[in-house]
Amino acid sequence: MYKESKWAKDILSEQKDDGSWGCFHTLSEPSKYPITTEQALRRLSILGYTLEDESIQKAVLYMNNCLTGKSQIPDRREKLHDWDIFTSLMLSSWIRRFTKDNQSANNTAKKWASVIKAAFTGNEYSQEEYSAAYHDILGMKPKGGRLINFTNFYPVSLTADMYDKNTEERVFDYILNQIDGIYYIYDEALSVLPCEFASKKASRYLGAVELLTAYKGNLHKLNFVYKWINSNKNEHDNWDMGSSIKDKIYFPLSNSWRLKESRVLDCTYRIKKLLSEMKSQ
């Protein structure tokens, strides 16, 4: 219902012929490239775009070409992490958010799932085992920089459907109780609810929960979130998270919030969609 919004039209007008929006991850030249490719994809996904849309098909083809070495993203190579591992992780994660039928992205997902699984072979998470598997399976180069913590947006999204039942439960519990949350999305423990529902913090919290709904075998562990959300609906069975949540990522969805009704419509649309996912086990 939001695919024809001005927000979507503005983003689509910036898409390049190769399917990208310029730099993939880093907004280093905002005057030349006002939005990164992954910012565009995140926003379009939230607005309802899928692989059925031509713009997403072009973007997925572009990412596949970069992943397989036919092209490369124009971003400056960062030294913090092994850049090749990081770019493969980013590209594969975004491809798999739109399709699970890409073999190259699926291969990346299997490798990362194997690394993470190795860290949970005992009764609890082992950083030593994670580090060893990271080097062995991902092939981190000498002086490749820091290891990427798996509790960030990319591995959490990429590997959600790649585990056996026992491993998925251990991974899910670890993410849920990680004191720093999910990097890039929410920076506090997800086991602790935000104090205020009508807040930007709560909107980011829901963004993290939206990621966790892909771990289908553990949705029952989000019942406390389900109850919290329902306890905050109004007398008309709608939700209003307030005007502060306007971040041009999750909100707004409607063209304008001049009318409170538009904001309530947007909030209710997102929350009902999330509640449906939380009950899909």
Q: Does the pLDDT value for residue 221 go beyond 70?
A: yes
> From CA 277, how far away is CA 120, in angstroms rounded?
27
pLDDT the model gives residue 142: 83
256 in a structural domain: no
Number of folded domains in the chain?
Answer: 1
What are the pLDDT digits (tens) for 180-212?
Answer: 999 999 999 999 999 999 999 999 999 999 999
133 in a structural domain: no
Q: How confident is the model at residue 239 (pLDDT cuts 50, 70, 90)?
A: very high
7 in a structural domain: yes
> From CA 147, how far away is CA 221, in angstroms rounded?
29
pLDDT the model gives residue 280: 73
Q: Does the pLDDT value for residue 147 go beyond 90?
A: yes
> From CA 26, how far away is CA 33, in angstroms rounded?
10
What percent of the chain is modeled with pLDDT above 70?
A: 98
pLDDT the model gives residue 28: 67
71 in a structural domain: yes
H/E run at residue 56: helix 54-67
Which residues make beta-bridge pairs with 146? Answer: 81
As given in the structure block, the two tokens for residue 38 are 């992954």
Find the domain containing 44 and state its range: 1-76
As given in the structure block, the two tokens for residue 121 are 């072979």
pLDDT the model gives residue 26: 85
- pTM of the entire structure? 0.96
Q: Does the pLDDT value for residue 92 go beyond 80?
A: yes
207 in a structural domain: no
Q: Does the pLDDT value for residue 281 go beyond 60?
A: no
CA 146 to chain centre: 21
pLDDT the model gives residue 195: 97
Q: Does the pLDDT value for residue 243 go beyond 70?
A: yes
17 in a structural domain: yes
54 in a structural domain: yes
> From CA 159, how far away is CA 57, in angstroms rounded?
22
Q: How confident is the model at residue 144 (pLDDT cuts 50, 70, 90)?
A: confident
Other beta carbons less than 10 A from residue 123's beta carbon: 7
52 in a structural domain: yes
As given in the structure block, the two tokens for residue 165 are 């039942």
Mean pLDDT over the full length of the chain? 95
3-state secondary structure 68-90: CCCCCCCCCCCCCECHHHHHHHH
